[in-house]
Amino acid sequence: MEGDITKIIEGYVDAHTDDLSDLLKDLLAETESITGRSRWSIGKVEGKMLQMLIKISNTRRVVEVGTFTGFSALAMAEALPKDGVLTTCENSKAYADIALRYFKKSPHGQKIHLKLGAALQTLGEIADNSQDFIFIDADKPSYGAYFDEALRILRSGGIIFVDNVFWRNKIFKKKISNENAKAIAAFNEKVNRENRVEKVMLGIRDGVYLIRKK
């Protein structure tokens, strides 16, 4: 029953959440057919949640760590105002090429600047206190370093949205052996100890940490 109820809740939540744009649906379908990894994309409910957060926080400047094929970047760009700017970091040219192809098809694509290379290097080039929102969704062992950079580049009141903080429920094991799960568990403790932020952890999908810089 436990497994079933999770699926039932997910289906119910999905059915009571607004639909994605047709372009985002196409991108998910093509991501699956080319990479077989559409599960890496945050999907509909988290995508709509990011859009909602961006709209209600009057966000104009966003940084994303982990573009993949561009689903979350395009979702966020759709929610940004006309003069909004989203900088997204990806180190795989193959994934970035798919993302760029879709950004070109969207009227919101011109808001997105894709930076090919190591995310930490791109973050290092962003000015202090200059951003409103950062979405962290790349290599798990670097989450702590991305969080430190987020605190530097965000203005006071800026938002940090972090995906996969349950790491496929592996962080709940008594003895954690998976390296990504170890990194995520350490990251969650780091955030929980940090006094410069307010935070709420949400049990949606693979776990989300919603954090606000004081």
Ligand X SMILES: C[S@@+](CC[C@H](N)C(=O)[O-])C[C@H]1O[C@@H](n2cnc3c(N)ncnc32)[C@H](O)[C@@H]1O
Nearest to 128 by CA among 165, 167, 155: 155
- Should residue 147 be labelled a site residue for ligand X when binding is judged by CB under 6 A? no
Q: State the sign of the Cα–Cα–Cα–Cα dihedral 24, 64, 204, 166.
A: positive
176 binds ligand X (CB under 6 A): no
> Of 67 and 188, which has the nearer Cβ to ligand X?
67
* Cα 118 from Cα 120, distance rounded (Å): 6
Residue 89 touches ligand X, criterion: CB under 6 A? yes
Decide whether 120 or 157 has the Cβ nearer to ligand X.
120
Task: Show the binding pattern over residues 21-40: x = contacts ligand X (CB under 6 A), - = does not.
Answer: -------------------x
- Distance of CA 164 to CAs 29, 81, 149, 188, Å? 22, 27, 19, 11
Closest CA to 206 of 171, 176, 174: 171
Query: What's phi and psi for 202, nearest 5 deg?
Result: -115, 135
Interface segment toward ligand X; rule CB under 6 A; list 2-10, 15-23, 137-145, 189-197 = 137-145
- Minimum Å gap between C-beta 180 and ligand X is 11
User: Could you give the strand order of the β-sheet that contains 85-90, starting from the edge strand earlier in sequence?
Assistant: 112-116, 85-90, 61-65, 131-136, 154-163, 208-213, 197-202
Residues in region 90-129 near ligand X by CB under 6 A: 90-92, 95, 118-119
The continuous run of DSSP H or E covering 124 comes out as: helix 119-124
How many amino acids of this chain bind ligand X (CB under 6 A)? 18
Q: For the CB of residue 76, give the shortest distance to ligand X in the complex, in Å.
A: 10
Tokens of 56: 């209600």
Determine the interface stretch with ligand X among 2-10, 68-76, 125-133, 175-183 (rule: CB under 6 A).
Answer: 68-76
Out of 62, 68, 108, 112, the only residue in the binding site for ligand X (CB under 6 A) is 68
Binding positions for ligand X, rule: CB under 6 A? 40-42, 66, 68, 71-72, 89-92, 95, 118-119, 137-139, 142
